[in-house]
Amino acid sequence: MTVPPPPASAQARAETLRGLCGGAVHLPGDPGYDLARAPWNVQAATFPAAVAYPAFADEVAEVLRAAAAAGLAVAPQGTGHGAAPLQGRLGHAVLLRTGAFGELSIDEDRRIARVGAGVLWGDLVDAAGTVGLAGLHPSSPDVGVVGYSIGGGIGWYARRLGLQCNTMTAAEVVLADGTFVRATADSDAELFWGLRGSGMPLGVVTALEFQLYPVDSVVAGFLAWDWTRIERVLPSWAAWCAEAPDEATTSFRVLHVPPVPAVPPELRGRRLVVVDGAVLGPDGRAAEILAPLRALAPEFDTMARVPAAALARLHLEPEGPSPGYASSALLTGLPDAAVAAVLETAGPGSGNRLTVAELRQLGGALGRPDPDGGALASLDGQFLVLGLGLEDDPATWPGMREDAARMLAALVPWTTEREYLPMLDDPTDPRKAYPPEVYARLAALRRAVDPAGLFVGQHG
Amino acid sequence: MAGRDGLRVRILGRLDACDGDAEIDLGGRRQRAVLAVLILARGEIVPAERIADCLWGTDLPGNVSGAVQSYVSHLRRRLQPDGAPRSRRGIIASAGSGYAVRLPPDAVDAWWFERLVRDAGTASTAGEPQRAAELLTEALELWRGPALSEYPGEPWAEAEIARLTELRAVARERLLAARLDRGEAALLVPELEALVADEPLREERWRLLVLALYRAHRQADALAALRRARNLLSAELGIDPGPALRALEAEVLAQSPALSPALSPALSPALSPVRSAVPSPAPPPASAPASAPPGAPAAAAVPPDLVDRDDELGTIRTAVADLAAGASQLLLIEGPPGVGKTRLLAEARRLAAEHDLTVLGARGSQLERTFGFGAVRQLFEPTLVDAERRERLLTGAAASARGVFDVLDEPAEGSFAVLHGLYWLAAGLASERPLVLAIDDLQWCDTASLRFVVYLSRRLDGLPLLLLATLRTGERHEDDDLLAEVLLDPSTAVVRPGPLTREGTAELVRRRLGEPAPLFLTACHTTTAGNPLLLRQLLRALEADRVRPDAAHADRVMACGSRAVASMVLTRLRRLPDEATAVAGAVAVLGERADLPSIAEMSGLDEVTTAAALADLARAEILRDEEPVGFVHPLVRDAVYRAVPSAERALAHERAGRLVRLRGGSAEQVGAHLLLAPSRGDAASVEVLSAAARTAAARGASESAVTYLRRALAEPAEGRARLDVLCELGLLETLVDGPAGLEHLGAAYELATEPADRAELAVAIAWTHVFTSSPGIASAFAQDAAAALPDDLVDARQGLVALQRISGFMHGLDPARWQAGPEPVVQGDGDGARMLAATLAWEVACAGADRDRSVELARFALADDRLFEVDSGLFWVVAANARMVADDDLGDFWERARAQAHARGSLFTALSVNLWQGLWQWRRGELADAVACFEAMLEQERMWGGSGTGRSYALAFLVGAHVDRGDLDAARATAELALAEQPGGEGGRLVRHAVARLRLADGDWAGALALVDAAGDSVLGGANPAWNRQRALRAAALAGLGRRPEAVEVQQEEVALLRRWGAPSFLGTGLRRLGEITGGAGLEHLREAVAVLAPTTAELEKARAEHALGRSPDVPDEEAVPLLRSAVARARDCGAQQVFADACAALAERGHAVEGACDLPAPVSVTVRRILDLAGTGLGVHEVAQRLFLTPGTVRAALEHAQVAAQA
């Protein structure tokens, strides 16, 4: 994917940023520029006018002021997992990377984590795990805590404990004008509300505090079958989901296991259908809940009690920057016809080339609006359908996009009005993520905190 | 520790448990704590309440025993997952309401550790140090970090952690003691230094260090260490050393045999296995690879933190090995900041210590740049601690360096004698044992010390001395010219460590964080560009955040590592408590070696808080984790220092100055701070700065003195103090920076009211003008100043008149301007009178008529050597030259002058003596000595940095001496150099005449004539051909061009003038030339020349005259042959190749062979003869060298050469 380098005029203006952040500013042509601009998602090549790595809130403010003075926009970014929608839009922008905010502390007694914007979920999960606590983390340890949290956050306890964004207790933000704000439910409450699930760049979040849960261990793992068994497994899983209690959160994946050393040798290169997930609660109860799925005689069964910290690596997702493409839709349910549509577009004989075709079980706490929650108080729909391409060879990327589109198109009859933005790599109208009144409130908030439109948003 | 099977619990580090190879998940923090509590109870029963107390303190949960029980049962399941519930109770047994662990002694690392330490004690008592060392090594290897590292400060763990930590410290000491007993003394010194630095209050460490130093034959260092220990204990605890250290001190002083190791080193088995296994703080010991050849311990070992440095280490190893074999070298480690120069230097020092060489070290620092000979003092003071040794080392030629170490009353006049003395101090040390001088950050050494380095580097030959220095590149330094002298010296070897490779970077990342993912490594390598300092700082930051070296964290590397080192440091500093920032700033201002109370006071904190902050800063790797307090790198200091706003910095230095003064610091130390403090017009500051200047001047460090005085002036100094400062400053500056000296002396002259003061200043100003200002200024100033003096200051006025006239001559001014009026009459016999007499003697000599009067005046000027006292080399040189031109025997005048130069340490005097004594020797035909003198003069002139006046004289004389030796190539090279500088005035005339003579020798008659024309006449005319040879040169050129009649006429004119003057050696030369030009009819001139020259000392001229006469076909054999034989002999003694060859040829023509070869043997110079004479009296190489101001290398070479010649 070739994207032109930033225009010369932007490059010249970005020169005024040189020397900020103690020298941690990379401009096109600098030795560190290519490494600094590379997001986690290596499919999303971006060529910003400058990349800055501030380490303190005052340095963030400095960058913001310098960028504004130079007529450049600013795109805050943690890891760049969600960088895809920014492609080609940063030529006149400073990429403000928050990797230097590595602060991480855990208040064991209050069960509150405090993390800087450079902390990854893997770091947090390990630190919390040593004191018997867990956060509502995603399926990959590489994802940044802050970006994930402000976008929403569907984790392995989601049906029991809800969205990660609503566990937030405080957020520290540098606003477009350089002011530093600590937003909580009591102070700067509107901003605090907007930061919970809007994913909108309302400012540069430098640190978050959020709730942890006393989850020491959990029954988790996966059940897997050869994908030829899909016709039996998928309907059964769909039926099981309808009955499953909130303690269980699972996903159903048609998986093309890459032939890489990171996965166990017996799985490499195989096509499987996998049900993975976690069940909170004692062993006996978990066994009871999982029994109907086990009755389908999986070829692999790794479901067992594991330390909560192990969950962040349950999905066996690639670690380190990878090329990725995600497209998703929220579904109202999985009636037989919908199951058939999935089988037809993702099952054997469909010719589907996606690395992962996934159905994520929603509902439970996710569907019940959190009365004290933020902009994303709940998630509409019973399932999230997700097409995921993870393939190094760029030649395969268009095919993956096509197949994802084909699968989502087949499921349109059961698709809700809403979208879940973090799982969408194509630029989308953010209005679709919220009810109209919520969106209006968010838009007003954004105008209030960033009247000049300094920040580049992920979507729109 | 038990084998791989079975359960093991480890608490020496983070608590963990393994079953075989598999780590056991022990669960959450509290659950793990239960196990820890039980382990610490060592199998005793611990009641559940007590466990609950430990876990929750006062904040107990409702059902205590239930909660504890549940933790225990979880633990049991994990520790013995396969066992039935009952058998699980085996490991954690229930007993009443309590629990106890049931584990074998080797299943718990702490228990096993204690057992090993106990066994080692038994082995040691049994006289088995080898076994003891092995056991202790094994014991210490069990440690993976601080004991129970997750539970620091927990009340239940605290006592046990402290006990185990103490036991570990004891074990480390015992291990080193055991190794010491095995004869590894020299190797252990660095480790013991580190151990002492770790915990300086542990006396046992000091005892071992002292013992190791003593056994490594470093008695002085051992005593110095004892003193350090004493000072430290007294400063920190207010106590004296305990009986063990006191007894040791007495034994060291008495060189008691009880201090010898129990075992002779030769009997001890191979050293490497134990050494390599020892965990040790920095600097780490070399870990000898198994393949290392026996007998070459660690020779090829690469210390683990030195990566990508194989070539550099190779060069260093060779240099150290060469030194051990007696060869000298200057090795410079050069590179940008942070590339690891200091580390290589440390490695060199370690290697040298291994070879049992003496290692002395110093480090330049920006704050101490004004400490006169500061670096030199750092180098040598440790060896001068012992009074007796000090006496021994600072005697003979080294005595003149005494002032560097003791402040003497008498200021050194210049640095030459001091440099020479220091050279002998180094030579003396090197003669005891090969010596390594290791200087870190050479670019920040004080100017005086740098001069010493330059001086020494030129004289390394023959000394077993390795001069090692690090030099920062990429920025300008104050003494770049001196540094360039070291750097550009062709004999200097330079090591330039480059950036780390990707592989090297990987190695360092791996050691600190574990195996890096490729992307992580790329980020590390890209952001640090292979700079080891940046990488270390980056890794420190990453380690503190517990960053995994995986691909996902590559961005964290970019985020932290993209910063400049200064910013990286400040980033870490910002995350520390405010106290740390204050303390770091205080240390940055106070400089290296600040003590805790001073730091505390500077930071406005109490000492306990300060100590804690210092510890924080050490953990953050901002400060070195060792005594004395200092930053890990000058760049780090710089970052912290620059972070303080400059105005605050100035105030901080003012406070620091006060503090240092209160604490009894020297004027220099106080002054260093005042240099950076705001100016307030404070009289006390002026006083301190003046005192600092006097100290520096007394040491012979004029530049430092000048720096202090300039600051004193800017304070500003007022009133009388201002006049004093201006005078002192101006006079000092005349030694180092003429124009600045003039400015300040001029200001003093304006300010002074006392006529006597003014007269003294006027003389100094005029004198300085002579050597530094454009022609005319000195003369005019002296004239005005003389006129302004009151009538009664007769002698001072004579001095000024003398200066007015001599500068008029030297600068080639129109005599009408300075010789107008009646010739002054010399009145009295004061200094001024003698100066005037010297000037007049020269003027009379130039007039070429009244030789007796000239000699009389000159003898008066030189009588009693009084001018030596007031004049460093102007008037007495002039008077002496007048006497030389008059053939008046100077006796041993030059030897006295040379001794004077060395006694006073005046470089200017020394170079003047070399120039004019060289001329004297040249006239006497002592060509080799003359050349040596001129060359020495040129070197000293470069060091002195004068205006170049003397330089053109020396070059002119050198061309002539080379021509006479018959070495035309050398003459041509020198001539080219001399002409290129386009000299003017009298020196320019001399150069052109000398080159014209060379052209004549080359047969380039026209070229010679043109040069003579271009040279013009001397200011005082050509009336005396003894000084102005233009007629002789012209005549020879004309003769060569075939214009014989003109030539004869010119030469006749010269002879007539020389007859009038009457100095026989010059007349003889003139007559010989006339005879040669005249041809057949000139025989009588030649006969007269031989006769006139006979009583003189002009040996070469005699040879020429004898040859000229002897080769004439009109002279019969019986007259000619003895003449020619005499010419051959004289030419041989003089080392005059051409004359020698011509005379040999003439003899051969008359059928007479010359005995021996017709090749001129290497001339035996006077110097060599003196060496042989002194050596004949039984003096050693060193004594001879000291007496003759030569290097031992020269003396040794001369003696060896003589020996070879004698055998041949």
Contact predicate B117/B177, CB 8 Å = no
- pLDDT(A281) > 50: yes
Whole-number average pLDDT of chain B: 84
Q: Is residue A456 part of a domain?
A: no
The reply to whether A162 and A17 lie within a common domain is no
Q: Is residue A190 part of a domain?
A: yes
pLDDT of residue B595: 85
pLDDT of residue B150: 82
Residue numbers in A near B28 (CB within 8 A): 130-132, 216
pLDDT of residue B301: 57
Burial class (CB in 10 A: 0-12, 13-18, 19+), B179: buried
CA neighbours within 13 Å on the CB side: how many for B1197? 9
> What value does the mean pLDDT take over residues B640-652?
90
Question: Per-residue confidence at B289, pLDDT binned at 50, 70, 90?
Answer: very low
Task: Pick the residue of A30, A63, A130 with the most B CBs within 10 A to test the interface with B by mutation.
Answer: A130
Q: How many interface pairs between A and B have CB atoms less than 8 angstroms apart? A: 106
Question: Per-residue confidence at B1208, pLDDT binned at 50, 70, 90?
Answer: low
Residues A21-64 have pLDDT tens digits of 988 999 988 888 888 888 777 767 788 999 999 999 999 999 99
Question: Per-residue confidence at A6, pLDDT binned at 50, 70, 90?
Answer: confident
Question: Per-residue confidence at B1179, pLDDT binned at 50, 70, 90?
Answer: confident
Residue numbers in B near A319 (CB within 8 A): 550-552
> What value does the mean pLDDT take over residues B622-632?
83
Asked if A35's CB is within 8 angstroms of B523's CB, the reply is yes
* Angle (CA) B82 B83 B88, round 5°: 130
Q: Is residue A453 part of a domain?
A: no
Asked if A321's CB is within 8 angstroms of B526's CB, the reply is no
Contact predicate B1003/B1040, CB 8 Å = yes
User: Which residue in chain A has the smallest CA separation from B521?
Assistant: A35
Question: Per-residue confidence at B417, pLDDT binned at 50, 70, 90?
Answer: confident
pLDDT of residue B281: 38
Task: Name the residue with tokens 């809800």.
Answer: A162
> What value does the mean pLDDT take over residues A72-80?
89
The reply to whether A84 and A175 lie within a common domain is no
Domain finish residue from A72, A97, A122: A97
Q: Is residue A428 part of a domain?
A: no
Question: Per-residue confidence at A96, pLDDT binned at 50, 70, 90?
Answer: very high
Question: Per-residue confidence at A94, pLDDT binned at 50, 70, 90?
Answer: very high
Asked if B563's CB is within 8 angstroms of A22's CB, the reply is yes
The reply to whether A278 and A198 lie within a common domain is no
Residues A308-331 have pLDDT tens digits of 888 877 766 666 667 788 899 999
The reply to whether A179 and A273 lie within a common domain is no
Distance from CA of A294 to the nearest CA of B (A): 25
Contact predicate B564/B533, CB 8 Å = no
Domain that holds residue A223: 217-423
pLDDT-wise least confident of B405-414, B970-979, B1036-1045: B405-414
The reply to whether A286 and A393 lie within a common domain is yes
Domain finish residue from A97, A125, A155: A97
Residues B448-480 have pLDDT tens digits of 899 899 888 888 877 899 999 999 988 788 888
> What value does the mean pLDDT take over residues A150-178?
94
The reply to whether A124 and A227 lie within a common domain is no
Q: Which of residues 528-567 of B touch A (CB under 8 A)?
A: 529, 545-548, 550-556, 558-560, 562-564, 566-567
Asked if B527's CB is within 8 angstroms of A307's CB, the reply is no
Of B546, B556, B564, the CB nearest to A99: B556
Domain finish residue from A73, A97, A121: A97
The reply to whether A210 and A229 lie within a common domain is no
Cis peptide before B628 (omega within 30 of 0): yes
- pLDDT(B273) > 60: no
pLDDT of residue B905: 60
Secondary structure (3-state) at A5: coil
Residue numbers in A near B562 (CB within 8 A): 21, 23-26, 32, 36, 53
Which range among B181-195, B488-502, B906-920, B950-964 has the greatest average pLDDT? B950-964
Residue A33's domain is classified under what CATH number?
A: 3.30.43.10
Determine contact: A307 vs chain B, CB below 8 A: yes
The reply to whether A280 and A332 lie within a common domain is yes
Residues B1043-1084 have pLDDT tens digits of 999 999 999 999 999 999 999 999 999 999 999 998 877 899
Q: Are strands A356-361 and A325-331 parallel, antiparallel or unpaired?
A: unpaired
Residue B527 φ/ψ, nearest 5 degrees = -70, -35
Question: Per-residue confidence at B505, pLDDT binned at 50, 70, 90?
Answer: very high
pLDDT of residue B300: 47
Q: Is residue A210 part of a domain?
A: yes
Give CA–CA dist B559/B551, Å, rounded: 14
Determine contact: A120 vs chain B, CB below 8 A: yes
Question: Per-residue confidence at B906, pLDDT binned at 50, 70, 90?
Answer: low
Q: Which of residues 31-70 of A touch B (CB under 8 A)?
A: 31-32, 35-36, 40, 53, 55-56
User: In this prediction, what percent of chain A has a pLDDT beyond 90?
Assistant: 61
Output DSSP code: residue A352.
-
Determine contact: B571 vs chain A, CB below 8 A: yes
Residue A204's domain is classified under what CATH number?
A: 3.30.465.10
Question: Per-residue confidence at A185, pLDDT binned at 50, 70, 90?
Answer: very high
pLDDT of residue B298: 39
Residues A187-242 have pLDDT tens digits of 999 999 999 998 788 999 999 999 999 998 899 999 999 999 999 999 999 999 99
**3-state SS string for B784-844:** HHHHHCCCCCHHHHHHHHHHHHHHHHHCCCCHHHHCCCCCCCCCCCCHHHHHHHHHHHHHH
Predicted complex: ipTM over 0.85: yes
Determine contact: B502 vs chain A, CB below 8 A: no
Residues 6+ apart with CB under 8 A from A210: A112, A113, A135, A149, A164, A167, A168, A169
> What value does the mean pLDDT take over residues B127-153?
85
For residue B746, the tally of other CB atoms under 10 A from its CB is 17
- pLDDT(B970) > 50: yes
Residue A409's domain is classified under what CATH number?
A: 3.40.462.20
- For chain A, the domain total comes to 3
- pLDDT(A80) > 90: no
Residue numbers in B near A32 (CB within 8 A): 526-527, 558, 562
Of B519, B527, B570, the CB nearest to A320: B519
> What value does the mean pLDDT take over residues B859-866?
92
Residue numbers in A near B30 (CB within 8 A): 132
Task: Name the residue with tokens 């020429």.
Answer: B1104
Give CA–CA dist B1031/B1049, Å, rounded: 10
Secondary structure (3-state) at A265: coil
Residues B700-757 have pLDDT tens digits of 788 888 899 999 999 888 888 899 999 989 888 877 777 888 889 999 999 988 888 8
Q: Is residue A318 part of a domain?
A: yes
The reply to whether A228 and A364 lie within a common domain is yes
Q: Is residue A125 part of a domain?
A: yes
Asked if A97's CB is within 8 angstroms of B559's CB, the reply is yes
Question: Per-residue confidence at B295, pLDDT binned at 50, 70, 90?
Answer: very low
pLDDT of residue B540: 86
Burial class (CB in 10 A: 0-12, 13-18, 19+), B387: exposed
The reply to whether A240 and A321 lie within a common domain is yes
**3-state SS string for B973-989:** HHHHHHHHCCCCHHHHH
Question: Per-residue confidence at B3, pLDDT binned at 50, 70, 90?
Answer: very low
Residue numbers in A near B517 (CB within 8 A): 320
The reply to whether A378 and A288 lie within a common domain is yes
Q: Which of B1133, B1079, B1084, B1087 is nearest to B1106 (CA)?
A: B1087
For residue B709, the tally of other CB atoms under 10 A from its CB is 31
pLDDT of residue B1057: 95
Task: Pick the residue of B16, B542, B546, B562 with the most A CBs within 10 A to test the interface with A by mutation.
Answer: B562
pLDDT of residue B302: 62
Determine contact: A284 vs chain B, CB below 8 A: no
- pLDDT(B484) > 90: no
CA neighbours within 13 Å on the CB side: how many for B11? 27
The reply to whether A255 and A372 lie within a common domain is yes
Give CA–CA dist B924/B807, Å, rounded: 29
User: Which residue in chain B has the smallest CA separation from A132?
Assistant: B28
Partnered with residue B333 across adjacent β-strands are B470, B495
Q: Is residue A408 part of a domain?
A: yes
CA dihedral B1006, B1008, B1009, B1011 (to 10 degrees): 120
Task: Pick the residue of A18, A103, A120, A137 with the most B CBs within 10 A to test the interface with B by mutation.
Answer: A120
